[in-house]
Amino acid sequence: MSVDKKKAENSAAASFDVEALSALYRTMSLIRHVETALTRLFANGEVPGFIHLSIGQEGVAAGVASALLKQDSLATTHRGHGHVLARGMDVTGFMKEIMGREGGLCKGRGGSMHVADLSLGILGANGIVGAGIPIALGSAMAHKARKTGGVAVAFFGDGAMAEGVLHETLNMASLWKTPLLLVCENNGWSEFSPTSRQFAAKLEKLAEAFSVTYAQVDGNDVQAVAEATRIATDQLRAGKGPYVLECSTTRVRGHFEGDAQKYRDAGELESVHEHDPLTAARKLLQEAGVDTAAIDQAIHAEVEAATEAARADALPRPEDAIRDVYTQTGKQEARA
C-alpha cells in the first residue's frame, strides 16, 4: 500500500460520522446474516417456495432506509428482504414468515415475496416485477392528500425498467409533483438475462423525458446512498416533485436461491466480492477503532435466536387458511 493511498484513506476516515456509519453497518450486517442463514435453511429444505436474496446489495437498503421517517411508506420487490429489514421489520416475525410459520408477520400467507408490515409503512414485497411502483405512487398521492409529510419509496430492480407501469408512474408522479422516490437497484441482471439485452434506454434519459430529477450513486457505498437519499427526500418533502435514484450494485446470488447462474461469466462471479458494501464499511469503521466483530457477533446471535424461534413455531392450521379473504365487519350498509 503506497503512502499516498494511505493518506487518502485517512482523510476519508476522518470525514465520516462514526456513529452513523456504525448504524448503517449494523443494518447491512443484519441483512447479510439473515440472508446467509436463509441460504442454509433453504438448502436444508426449511424454507418453502422460492427466495430471492439480496446479498451484495445491502448498501442500498441500509442507505435508503436511513433517510426515511416514521410516516414514510415503501413498496418493494421479490428481492426485498433487505429493504424491509432495514425499515425495521421485526426479525423474528420476518423469519417466521419466510419459513411459513403461524406467528409470521403475515401468518404464513405471504412468505418471502409478499412480506409486509403496514405498521411500518411497508406495503409489501411483490411477486410481480414492477408492480410495487404504481402502488408506491398511490401511497405518495395519499401522503400528499392527507398532508402526512411522508414520502413513498418504490424499490425496483433494473428488470422492471421494461415494465409499462414504470413509464406510466413517471408520467403521473411528474404531472402531479408527487412525493415519490423511485429507487432502482441496478445490478445489471433482469432475472436470467443481462439487462443490456432487455432494455434499450437508460433510466437517466427516461427520468429526463418525464422531467423527473435523477441522481446516480454507487450502491456499494452505503454512506453515499444515505447522503443521496437524504438529498432526494429533502426535495420530496419540500414538494418539489418525484425523484429517481439509481444505485449501481451487484447481485451475488442467482435470480432465485438454487439458481446455478450458468448464464454468468465465472470472472464476473469471482470479482463480485471486491465490491462488497460491508467490506468497505467495515474497513472504515475498523480504522476508526470500532469493533465490527462485536457488532457482527451480536447480530449473529439475534438471527440465530430468530431462526430457532421460527423453527419452534407452529405451522399455520388449514382451518384458519380461509380467514382474511374479506374483512369481517358485519357493517356493509350504505350508511353507518
Partner 1 sequence: MNGTTEMRYVNAVTKALADSMAEDASVIVMGEDVAHAGGSFKATRGLLEQFGEERVIDTPISESSITSAAVGAALTGLKPVVEIMFMDFITLSMDALVNQAAKARYMFGGQGSVPMVLRTPHGGGLSAGPQHSQCLEAWLAHVPGLKVVCPSNPQDAYSLLRAAIADPDPVMFIEHKAMYAQKGQVDTAQTVRIGEARIAREGRDVTLVTYGATVGICLKAAEELATEGVEAEVLDLRSIQPWDKAAVLESLSRTHRAVVVHEAVQAFGVGAEIVATIADEGFDELDAPVLRVAAPFMPAPFASSLEKGYVVTADRVKDAVRKTLA
C-beta separation of 215 from 246 below 8 A = yes
116 binds partner 1 (CB under 8 A): yes
- Segment contacting partner 1 by CB under 8 A, of 6-14, 31-39, 125-133, 198-206: 125-133
26 binds partner 1 (CB under 8 A): no
- Segment contacting partner 1 by CB under 8 A, of 34-42, 51-59, 98-106, 208-216: 98-106
CA dist., res. 185 & res. 24, Å (int): 17
Residue with cell 426479525: 91
CB of 272 to partner 1, least distance (A): 32
Q: Which of 51, 131, 151, 226 binds partner 1 (CB under 8 A)?
A: 131
Binding flags for partner 1, 164-183, as an x/- string (CB under 8 A) = xx--xx-xx--xx-------
CA dist., res. 141 & res. 302, Å (int): 37
- Segment contacting partner 1 by CB under 8 A, of 160-168, 216-224, 243-251, 278-286: 160-168
Cell numbers linked to 54: 439480496
CA dist., res. 221 & res. 225, Å (int): 6
Helix (H) or strand (E) holding 152: strand 152-157
Binding flags for partner 1, 295-334, as an x/- string (CB under 8 A) = ----------------------------xxxxx-x-xxxx
CB of 64 to partner 1, least distance (A): 18
CA 118 to chain centre: 16
CA dist., res. 121 & res. 234, Å (int): 19
CB of 134 to partner 1, least distance (A): 3
Q: Which is nearer to partner 1, 148 or 186 (CB)?
A: 148
110 binds partner 1 (CB under 8 A): yes
Q: Which of 56, 104, 219, 241 binds partner 1 (CB under 8 A)?
A: 104
Site for partner 1 in 52-81 (CB under 8 A): 73, 75
For 114, counting Cβ atoms within 10 Å of its Cβ (0-12 exposed, 13-18 middle, 19+ buried), the class is: middle
C-beta separation of 75 from 136 below 8 A = yes
C-beta separation of 219 from 57 below 8 A = yes
Sheet with strand 180-186: strands edge to edge? 73-75, 152-157, 180-186, 243-248, 213-218
Q: Which is nearer to partner 1, 63 or 110 (CB)?
A: 110
Helices (H), 178-288: 203-209, 222-237, 266-271, 277-287
195 binds partner 1 (CB under 8 A): no
184 binds partner 1 (CB under 8 A): no
Q: In the complex, which residues of this chain contact partner 1 (CB under 8 A)?
A: 73, 75, 104-110, 114, 116-119, 121, 123-124, 126-128, 131, 133-146, 148, 152, 164-165, 168-169, 171-172, 175-176, 323-327, 329, 331-336
